[in-house]
Amino acid sequence: MKKMLIVEDDDLSVKVMRRIFQNDFEIDYCESVDEYYEKYSETKYEIIIVDVSLRGNKNGLELIREIKASPSFTGTPILCLTAHAQTKMRQTAMESGSDLFITKPVSNKILKEAVFSLI
């Protein structure tokens, strides 16, 4: 089964995404950049979904830059899913290496279509 990583600190968002993708992916999730490095940085994923605002000292954009800089994640698409709807945030996310930027709230159908279009 394909693997997905969700980096998100909002429990409701994680529950919703798990429900949407449970039949299509084996799902790992974490709440912070530190937790990502402790648990998942060596795992290969078909897609990674990252929120901008996370617990801890680093935000999702910093994590996206670090993942994209790693040769072992070449070609792994990253979807930035956030409540930050400002145009500047979209631009910053794309400059950080996000392959797609979607703002919350988003319909389940659009989110699922976006994920499958990236992989």
Query: Do residues 69 and 99 touch, judged by C-beta distance below 8 A?
Result: no
List the domains of the chain with CATH numbers. 2-118 (3.40.50.2300)
CA dist., res. 77 & res. 91, Å (int):
17
Please tell me the pTM assigned to this model: 0.95
**The predicted structure's pLDDT at residue 92:** 94
Amino acid at 7: V
The predicted model gives 89-113 an average pLDDT of 95
Amino acid at 109: K
